Amino acid sequence: MQLRLLKNVDWPLMVAVVLLSVLGSLMVSSASASEARYQGLAARQAIWICLGLGVAGALMWMDYQLAARLSRWLYGINLALLSLVLYKGHSIAGSQRWIELGWTQLQPSELAKVLIVITLADLLRRGQETHSPASVLFRAALHVGVPMLLVFAQPDLGTALVFVVLWLGMLWIWGLSRGYLVALAVTGGLLAAGAWHLGVVRDYQRTRLAAFLDPEHDPGGSGYQLLQSQIAIGAGGLWGAGLYRGTQNRLAFIPTQTTDFIFTIAGEELGFVGCMTILALYLFILWRGVAIAAATEDPLGALIATGVLCIFAFQAFINLGMTMRLCPVTGLPLPFVSYGGSSLLTSFMGVGLLQSVSMRRRAIQF
């Protein structure tokens, strides 16, 4: 039994994830070398990667069906953690997203992504047998909406949008009709417009959108980060300045260069070739994930794989896009690359779930 499962491990996926994590660790090392306050980040990143691999290994050996059977408990834990962070969370730069654990910090909104994938997949699987599409849609909206509002209140608009994307992606794979999806898109647009005009969207979020549209309007303020990011990526040329040699990096012109804007380090120091290597690894990971979702004969496995892929694809697209001024700044980390224990563990949990699905269906045909 163990050997049969081992044969179904998607080893190319694991190799791509490890390569991307190693590149990310190098980027964090370079980004943290120029400032004393960042000393030790690279070593901690390496530790988190090792822990993440262990978590991924544990989840891949655990049958994802077991996780689904615990979905009610997981959903309750999710809501409890998200509520706790609003009550006793640690604040940084006006956002209350972390729980102090003494030696480190936990960001419940990161963990919530994977928990929502598992619990929503179970809800949709059960709803397919016992409820009408309209009833399932309502239940799924309520299921995702409650934790999404708790995350939005932190405030964390980027992660809240991740919930929306995985919700829509999983509903589509579940089989929701095109008419419902169009109605959801129209409703979402109307709600977004209403939120903007009613002041639900906060001032700093409006400022970020304005900076995205015209960063030159306030080059020393709201547009500073985007402009410096473009300069750094553009300065890399074809081959880059070389690791630890980026001027924008060493002179600390780019805020949050170890987390949200880590890709600027790759652009400046590894150049176009390095950036395309990172992009190719993401596309390969997504391709393998799609192959896993398509090959499984279990609807629950397909739903879980789809949810994980939605997280990876959306976060990578938004993060890479905002560093090149293709998307507004939202504060989403780059999976496997940005510094952060909670983000790394969540990404590796997603890989573990993908492998759990892969190991319990027929082998992928290349």
Containing 313, the helix (H) or strand (E) segment is: helix 299-323
Instruction: Give the pLDDT band of residue 362 (cuts 50, 70, 90).
Output: low
Give the mean pLDDT of the chain: 89
Lowest mean pLDDT among 83-97, 141-155, 279-293: 83-97
**pLDDT at residue 172 tops 80:** yes
**pLDDT at residue 265 tops 60:** yes
Q: How many residues does the chain have?
A: 366
Structure-model confidence comparison of residues 207 and 323, the more confident one: 323
Question: Average pLDDT for residues 161-183, to the nearest whole number?
Answer: 91
Question: Average pLDDT for residues 265-278, to the nearest whole number?
Answer: 95
Question: Average pLDDT for residues 242-260, to the nearest whole number?
Answer: 86
Instruction: Give the pLDDT band of residue 166 (cuts 50, 70, 90).
Output: very high
- Report pLDDT for 365: 44
The percentage of residues in the chain with a pLDDT greater than 90, rounded to a whole number, is: 58
CB neighbours of 208 closer than 8 A, spacing ≥ 6? 222, 328, 329, 330
- Report pLDDT for 17: 97
Phi, psi of 107 (to 5 degrees): -105, 95
**pLDDT at residue 363 tops 60:** no
- Report pLDDT for 105: 86
Give the global pTM: 0.93
Question: Average pLDDT for residues 306-313, to the nearest whole number?
Answer: 97
The percentage of residues in the chain with a pLDDT greater than 70, rounded to a whole number, is: 95
List the chain domain ranges. Answer: 52-227+281-359
- Report pLDDT for 127: 81
Which contacts of 75-80 are long-range, i.e. CB under 8 A and separated by 24 or more positions?
75/115, 75/119, 75/143, 77/115, 78/108, 78/111, 78/112, 78/115, 78/116, 78/119, 78/147, 79/146, 79/147, 79/150
**pLDDT at residue 274 tops 90:** yes
Instruction: Give the pLDDT band of residue 4 (cuts 50, 70, 90).
Output: low
225, 261 contact by CB (below 8 A): yes
Q: Is the dihedral of CA 57, 61, 64, 67 positive or negative?
A: negative
Which contacts of 92-99 are long-range, i.e. CB under 8 A and separated by 24 or more positions?
94/204, 95/154, 95/155, 95/156, 96/154, 97/154, 97/156
Cis peptide before 155 (omega within 30 of 0): yes
With 0-12 / 13-18 / 19 or more C-beta atoms within 10 angstroms meaning exposed / middle / buried, residue 231 is middle
CA 334 from centroid of its chain's CA atoms: 7
Q: What is the pLDDT of residues 42-79, one digit of tens each?
A: 899 999 999 999 999 999 999 999 999 999 999 999 99
92, 98 contact by CB (below 8 A): yes
Give the CB-side neighbour count of residue 242, counting CA atoms within 13 A.
1
Lowest mean pLDDT among 148-157, 172-181, 339-348, 357-366: 357-366
Closest CA to 343 of 123, 113, 86, 61: 113
Lowest mean pLDDT among 73-82, 154-163, 180-189, 302-311: 180-189
CA dist 197 and 107 (Å) reads 30
Instruction: Give the pLDDT band of residue 97 (cuts 50, 70, 90).
Output: confident
- Report pLDDT for 131: 67
